[in-house]
């Protein structure tokens, strides 16, 4: 697994995590892996894939790192699926089709249109079992 992560880090290639979800490792991590049920804290930037228009960034003033429980449906499907392939210290770009994001309803509060493809840059700060 670590050799594979190192390869991805060097190659900057995207891999298919699941149907409609891809991941590009930007910085390889070396800490504990994210598993189903792990409590994960991340820095995150969310963007519409078309034009990479930002709709959320935990580094913006007034924001803070985001904590959630992985693999149990607390976040959108594409985020969950991508995070379950990451480990502490890793930074990756996760891209997903609309059905793995906010689907036909979109997310009007953040100006995310229906069925929009999304890109998230995630940095895993902490993983707790």
pTM: predicted TM-score of the whole model, two decimal places: 0.87
Q: Residues 37-92: pLDDT tens digits?
A: 999 999 999 999 998 899 999 999 999 999 999 999 999 999 999 999 999 999 99
Find, among 117, 122, 43, the residue nearest to 86 by Cα: 122
How do beta strands 21-27 and 39-48 pair? unpaired
How many residues are there in the chain? 129
Q: Residues 83-108: pLDDT tens digits?
A: 999 999 999 999 999 999 999 999 99
3-state SS class at 75: coil
CB contact set of 5 (below 8 Å; sequence gap of 6+): 25, 28, 29, 87, 90
- pLDDT attached to residue 12: 62
- pLDDT attached to residue 14: 85
């Amino acid at each position: 697994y670590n050799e594979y992560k190192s390869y991805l880090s060097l190659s900057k290639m995207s891999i298919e995590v699941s149907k409609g979800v891809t991941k590009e490792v930007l910085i390889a991590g070396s800490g504990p892996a994210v598993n189903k049920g792990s409590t994960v804290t991340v820095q995150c930037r969310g963007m519409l894939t078309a034009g990479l228009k930002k709709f959320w960034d935990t580094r913006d003033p007034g924001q803070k790192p985001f904590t959630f429980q992985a693999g149990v449906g607390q976040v959108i499907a594409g985020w969950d699926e991508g995070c379950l392939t990451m480990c502490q210290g890793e930074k990756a770009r996760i891209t997903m089709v609309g059905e793995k994001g906010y689907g036909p309803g979109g997310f009007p509060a953040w100006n995310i249109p229906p069925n929009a493809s999304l890109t998230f840059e995630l940095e895993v700060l902490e993983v707790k079992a």
